[in-house]
Amino acid sequence: MQTTQIEGKRISSWIMFLLASACGLIVANLYYAQTLVGPISDATGLSSGAAGLIVTLTQIGYVVGLLFIVPLSDIIENRRLVVVSLIVVVGALLAATFAPNPPLFLTASLLIGMASVVAQILVPYATYLASEEQSGRVVGNVMSGLLLGIMFARPVASFITGIWGWQAVFALSAIVITLLTVLLSRILPKRKPLPTIDYGKLIVTLGTLLKQTPILRRRAIYQACLFGAFSLFWTVVPLRLADDFGMSQQGIALFALAGVGGAIAAPIAGRLADKGWTGFLTVLAMIIAALSLLLTYLFQDNSTTALALLVLAAIMLDMAVSGNLVLGQRAIFSLGSEARGRLNGLFMSIFFIGGAIGSSLGGWSYAHGGWSFTSLIGVVMPLLALLYFITEKIPGFSPRGRS
């Protein structure tokens, strides 16, 4: 499959900033509800036992979108696909804002998840605008915007809810995404693939790509393990902050801001990957992730020191996850342009499943063994990734080792 070339092949700083901001604003919609489950359940009449569906259905929608919508970017003009998807996001956000009952809100949650995968269409789209020498830096900068959206979503949602109520979170996001849709439709250049395969066959090729692309499998599993530890940590740490340090919801929101510092690793990892340091940085990310959770296991009292180390662990873990994410995406995007949408959809869906497993393990382990058990599971997950990395046949363990 050939694609039309975009003139210039050197992305401007303005377009890069726009794409990074767009990814952050779009993906944040997946995470707003995580800190708002209580008030949403009360307002819509959702039972406490079913409240978890609010987050679960959003995640399911996202995985479905990754597998069945993102691959469309390989056969449909990208700007049009982005605009249509964002219109669905706006409609779903408005439905969530005014939902009078659980079925309507849960349906809106599912659609928010499905349509928000447009962020994963914009990431490979950015690489089409860039030269090969720029690709790592471009992916790093765009992904840093996406990661900032993930990290800011929870505290921002809590702060807005405290002032205007949870409906304001979805209403304000609908306004912002509407403005973003207009801006992207006017500024982004067209990128039209030349379709040589129909949609049904395109979806079938997902299995073939996964089977025949070892780099994709490895990078997805590496990231799934790290993102599993990340999700485990951020699912359970609010419980520890409330139980052991007596923090309020506002205090927990402030703690969540600490993780924002970890997003700085994304552009740095992209630049170093352009210089051939992918293998070395992958190992470093896995070790940092394991050490961050080990720190929280070793210091479990209620002291100020323990709290400070918890903040440090949050920053370290977020740096490891964001850096490794950029390394993985750069590696799979280097495989060729004709299947980047499908490759990215597979990569993201696999590591997102790892995150869902981490969240589930976090809730279970904290209930049965407290923070000690939870943090140990968190240490094991990146170590499993490291063991898998060691099995890879690479020329030594030098900084220039590729994976």
Is residue 38, in this structure, part of any structural domain at all?
Answer: yes
Higher confidence at residue 338 or residue 164? 164
Q: Is the pLDDT of residue 135 over 80?
A: no
CA torsion 62-341-273-13 (nearest 10°) is: -90
Higher confidence at residue 7 or residue 90? 90
Query: Confidence class of residue 5 from pLDDT cuts 50, 70 and 90?
Result: very low
Q: In angstroms, what CA-CA distances link 267 with 72, 120, 135, 272, 399?
A: 27, 17, 11, 9, 18
Closest CA to 350 of 174, 169, 206: 206
175 shares a domain with 204: no
Give the pLDDT confidence of 346-376 residue by residue, as tens digits.
998 898 888 878 877 887 888 889 999 999 9
Q: In angstroms, what CA-CA distances link 395 with 88, 120, 121, 140, 270?
A: 47, 32, 33, 25, 21
Higher confidence at residue 305 or residue 399? 305
Q: What is the pLDDT at residue 388?
A: 93
3 state DSSP class of 79: helix
Give the pLDDT confidence of 211-244 residue by residue, as tens digits.
999 999 999 999 999 999 988 888 788 778 888 8
Q: What is the pLDDT at residue 277?
A: 92
Query: Confidence class of residue 36 from pLDDT cuts 50, 70 and 90?
Result: confident
Q: How many domains does the chain have?
A: 2
227 shares a domain with 180: no
Is residue 339, in this structure, part of any structural domain at all?
Answer: yes
Q: Average pLDDT over the chain, rounded to whole?
A: 86
Query: Confidence class of residue 158 from pLDDT cuts 50, 70 and 90?
Result: confident
202 shares a domain with 190: no
3 state DSSP class of 402: coil
Strand partners, 3: 193
336 shares a domain with 291: yes
Structure tokens at 8: 């210039």
Crossing angle of helices 265-274 and 278-298, in 10° steps, is 150
163 shares a domain with 15: yes
Is residue 345, in this structure, part of any structural domain at all?
Answer: yes
Query: Confidence class of residue 380 from pLDDT cuts 50, 70 and 90?
Result: very high
Q: What is the pLDDT at residue 51?
A: 64
Q: What is the pLDDT at residue 3?
A: 40
Is residue 222, in this structure, part of any structural domain at all?
Answer: yes
Domain finish residue from 138, 168, 196: 196
DSSP characters over 28-71? GGGTGGGG-HHHHHHHHT--TTTTTHHHHHHHHHHHHHHHHTGG
Torsion angles phi and psi, residue 193, rounded to 5:
-70, 160
Range with the poorest average pLDDT among 6-10, 47-51, 383-387: 6-10
Q: What is the pLDDT at residue 4?
A: 40
Closest CA to 197 of 81, 84, 72, 347: 72
Distance CA 322, CA 229 (A): 13
139 shares a domain with 218: no
188 shares a domain with 84: yes
367 shares a domain with 337: yes
73 shares a domain with 214: no
Specify the CATH number for the domain of residue 123.
1.20.1250.20
Overall average pLDDT of the 246-250 stretch: 78
Domain finish residue from 196, 230, 259: 196
Query: Confidence class of residue 7 from pLDDT cuts 50, 70 and 90?
Result: very low
* Chain-centroid distance, C-alpha 291: 22
DSSP state for residue 75 in the 8-state scheme = T
Structure tokens at 329: 């995406």
79 shares a domain with 188: yes
Structure tokens at 10: 């050197």
Geometric angle at alpha carbon 107, from 103 and 111, rounded to 5°: 170
Distance CA 72, CA 308 (A): 45
Give the pLDDT confidence of 65-101 residue by residue, as tens digits.
998 999 898 889 999 999 999 999 999 999 999 998 9
Domain finish residue from 196, 227, 248: 196
298 shares a domain with 337: yes
Q: Which domain holds residue 400?
A: 197-403
Distance CA 135, CA 144 (A): 14
Q: What is the pLDDT at residue 10?
A: 66
181 shares a domain with 240: no
